[in-house]
Amino acid sequence: MLTNHNDIKAWLDRMGIKNYTINNTGTVTVDGDVDISRKDLTKIPVQFRIVYGDFSCNWNRLKSLNGSPREVGGNFCCWNNRLKSLNGSPREVSGNFHCWNNRLTTLDGSPREVGGNFCCWNNRLKSLNGSPREVGGYFYCNNNRLKSLEGSPREVGGNFDCNNNNLKSLNGAPQEVGDSFYCKYNSFKTSPNCDAIINGELFWE
């Protein structure tokens, strides 16, 4: 992790990041967006503190989210990397959180709350432990290896999509789903029981 003020400034300028402030602690606050996608990065070498806009680090070779902002005012996007966990990710994301197309086996390290959608599809998840407690928009965990929904968020404001996993029941599902619940292409033999309050429809076949 870079700690020298001049080294941090040089890296930020090289990445084309604007409207930044380097704090006395060496952390970085950005009044706008940060897009460091497609930079062939294997790590984020500076410690961001707050990014008031979107933060995107897609299409790199990241194995860790260390260096990510503590808070993001917009969307946080880290899809298409080599992440096996979300440790180091922001604690608060006001917009969407996209971590699909990685190698995640766990959601440990996820933000506590996500204001928009949470998308973790196309990973290697066997459990949803570590999920945010509340997701304001959709929650997509389809195309994983889930055998249980234990660890799901308590509340999902939009659709909940767990299609194409290895589920035999819906035990552990969210307490409330604001729209529809999708659970097609799993291992149900009959219509699954679901204790969640679903404000839309349940699609299982």
Q: pLDDT 10s per residue in the chain (205 long)? A: 999 999 999 999 999 999 999 999 999 999 999 999 999 999 999 999 999 999 999 999 999 999 999 999 999 999 999 999 999 999 999 999 999 999 999 999 999 999 999 999 999 999 999 999 999 999 999 999 999 999 999 999 999 999 999 999 999 999 999 999 999 999 998 889 888 899 999 999 8
What span, in angstroms and rounded, lies between the C-alpha atoms of 137 and 160?
9
> Which H or E run contains 14?
helix 5-14
Give me the pLDDT at residue 115, please: 98
**What is the predicted pLDDT for the residue at 24?**
94
CB 139 within 8 A of CB 121: no
| Strand, helix or coil for residue 10 | helix
Q: Give the pLDDT of residue 189.
A: 86
Q: What is the pLDDT of residue 36?
A: 98
Report pLDDT for 159: 98
- The CA-atom distances, in angstroms, between 161 and each of 40, 77, 127, 144, 180 are 31, 19, 14, 11, 8
**Confidence (pLDDT) at 191:** 86
What pLDDT does residue 128 have? 97
Q: What's the confidence (pLDDT) of residue 195? A: 87
The predicted model scores a pTM of 0.95
